[in-house]
């Protein structure tokens, strides 16, 4: 097997996150082919050979899998936003359950209760936030606005029929693209670092229907603010527009960075409701992207943490304080720690909004802040970013010696890694469940309850 060789093989299984294992006739080695489905026969180009392991780039599906279906989205396969719209939802859940169970069985010492995968209440139009990018569909092509093409850093796919958002997103996307095309101004080129239009951020609350729209540009040209606002307000939408914003961003990185945001219409926040509580959400603060799925996730976490009466709970990596406030009504006190200051301010406002006076929120890195809290928790809730918990911070968290600790992981491999230290320092895994917050993609949330071995 050589680099550059084009081969065919059958996908015998898919490992997390989306690594299809292809078996090639006449070859002893298997090849990892991303974005394939179990049971497919695929052709691929071998593009990596490392330490005897081969990786291939998917070229074509030669034969479909017996369980495969037609995707309801016309952009599927081109757009990199979804991986599994060609699988029935039950098959997606089966695959994710097998993947995470195998991973956790390897990571957990001893027996534990496996509670399987809890499905998302909705599988389509579930997202409450989308970050679209400006670019072109091919080199020097017309202005595009949408998602990155699968496997491409540069090309953008117009996703005017995207199925994981509702019709309001699609109307806003089309209107903003038409507006931008009519101005004749260029998109911001990622390599040349010149141009104007960068991103479009759209957030919509499922429960309240409020919509927040933010166009992100460089400062190279002036934005036609009135033209943009008029184009959006002319739309017939099911939701109501809470605010239209303009964020300036001259940073070299291809990310949405706030270097100054101006309100063009309305306000710079909107409200969403979860489990009977109200949350004020600002443009860049973290909030789970599937509101109905988040209710399932937080209910699971609340059940896992168990009896909270007269207990002090630390909610570490607390975001806008959703978990803290869901636990607060039945706890003595909840202390949230979050590095993003904007999210901490929103969390404080949300606690006031919900009449909760037993929540406090600290801004800063968990590693540093927990030394300054001067309190000892009875229980700890961890909901870290994708890379998991900093090992030094995890040491400090373990030193509190709480009876029960709940870890919510948006990347199960990070949980598997952190379990090694937690188990080595006296914690036992009691039970694990997954919640599918991201239908049609390979992402999944994992919730793990641990208790001290000596209690």
**Strands (DSSP E) along 275-387, which ranges?**
277-281, 312-316, 333-338, 359-363, 379-382
Contact (Cβ atoms closer than 8 angstroms) between residue 90 and residue 408: no
Q: How far is residue 390's CA from residue 395's CA, in Å, rounded to a whole number?
A: 9
Contact (Cβ atoms closer than 8 angstroms) between residue 206 and residue 237: no
Contact (Cβ atoms closer than 8 angstroms) between residue 120 and residue 292: yes
Q: How far is residue 387's CA from residue 415's CA, in Å, rounded to a whole number?
A: 9
Q: Which residues contact 90 (CB under 8 A, 6 or more apart)?
A: none
- Largest pairwise CA distance in the chain: 68
What burial class does residue 316 get, using C-beta atoms within 10 Å of its C-beta: 0-12 exposed, 13-18 middle, 19+ buried? buried
Give me the residue label for tokens 């911001």.
188
Q: How far is residue 93's CA from residue 440's CA, in Å, rounded to a whole number?
A: 10
- Omega before 17 cis (within 30°)? yes
For the record, the structure tokens of 378 come out as 């009875």
For residue 331, give the 3-state DSSP assignment.
coil
For residue 161, give the 3-state DSSP assignment.
coil
Select from 370, 203, 224, 215 the least CA-distant residue to 270.
203
CA-to-CA separations, 126 to 130, 184, 296, 343, 419, in angstroms, rounded: 11, 33, 13, 23, 31
Q: How far is residue 303's CA from residue 18's CA, in Å, rounded to a whole number?
A: 30
Which helix (H) or strand (E) element contains residue 46? Answer: strand 41-50
Positions marked catalytic: 410
What burial class does residue 341 get, using C-beta atoms within 10 Å of its C-beta: 0-12 exposed, 13-18 middle, 19+ buried? exposed
Which helix (H) or strand (E) element contains residue 267? Answer: none
Edge-to-edge strand order for the sheet containing 210-217? Answer: 156-158, 143-148, 129-136, 197-204, 210-217, 240-248, 261-266
Which is it for strands 210-217 and 240-248: parallel, antiparallel or unpaired? parallel
Q: How far is residue 283's CA from residue 128's CA, in Å, rounded to a whole number?
A: 12
């Amino acid at each position: 097997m050589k680099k550059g060789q084009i081969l065919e093989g059958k996908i015998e299984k898919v490992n997390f996150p989306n690594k299809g294992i292809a078996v090639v006739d006449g070859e002893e080695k298997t090849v990892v082919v991303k974005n394939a489905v179990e049971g497919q026969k695929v052709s691929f180009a071998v593009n990596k050979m490392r330490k005897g392991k081969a990786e291939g780039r998917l070229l074509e599906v030669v034969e479909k899998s017996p369980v495969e279906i037609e995707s309801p989205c016309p952009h599927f396969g081109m757009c990199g936003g979804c991986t599994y719209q060609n699988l029935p939802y039950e098959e997606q859940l089966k695959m994710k359950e097998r993947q995470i169970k195998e991973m956790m069985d390897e990571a957990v010492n001893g027996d534990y209760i496996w509670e399987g995968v809890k499905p998302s209440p909705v599988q389509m139009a579930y997202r409450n936030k989308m970050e679209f990018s400006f670019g072109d569909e091919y080199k020097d092509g017309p202005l595009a606005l949408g998602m990155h093409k699968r496997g491409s850093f540069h090309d953008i796919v117009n996703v005017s029929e995207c199925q994981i958002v509702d019709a309001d997103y699609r109307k806003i996307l089309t209107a903003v693209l038409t507006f931008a095309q009519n101005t004749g101004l260029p998109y911001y080129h990622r390599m040349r670092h010149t141009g104007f239009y960068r991103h479009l951020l759209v957030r919509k609350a499922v429960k309240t229907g409020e919509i927040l729209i933010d166009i992100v540009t460089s400062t190279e040209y002036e934005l036609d603010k009135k033209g943009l606002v008029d184009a959006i307000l002319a739309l017939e939408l099911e939701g109501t527009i809470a605010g239209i914003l303009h964020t300036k961003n001259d940073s070299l990185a291809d990310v949405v960075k706030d270097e100054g945001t101006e309100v063009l219409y309305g306000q710079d926040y909107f409200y969403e409701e979860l489990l009977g509580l109200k949350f004020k959400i600002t443009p860049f603060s973290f909030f789970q992207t599937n509101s109905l799925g988040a209710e399932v996730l937080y209910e699971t976490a609340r059940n896992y943490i168990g009896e909270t009466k007269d207990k002090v709970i630390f909610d570490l990596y607390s975001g806008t304080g959703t978990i803290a406030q869901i636990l607060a009504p039945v706890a003595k006190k909840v202390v949230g720690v979050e590095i993003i200051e904007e999210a901490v301010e929103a969390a404080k406002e949300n606690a006031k909004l919900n009449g909760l006076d037993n929540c406090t929120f600290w801004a800063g890195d968990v590693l540093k802040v927990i030394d300054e809290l001067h309190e000892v928790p009875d229980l700890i809730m961890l909901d870290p970013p994708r890379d998991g918990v900093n090992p030094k911070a995890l040491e400090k968290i373990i030193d509190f010696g709480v009876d029960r600790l709940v870890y919510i992981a948006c990347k199960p491999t990070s949980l598997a890694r952190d379990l090694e230290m937690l188990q080595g320092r006296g914690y036992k895994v009691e039970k694990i469940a997954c919640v599918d917050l991201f239908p049609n993609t390979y992402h999944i949330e994992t919730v793990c309850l641990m208790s001290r071995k000596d209690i």
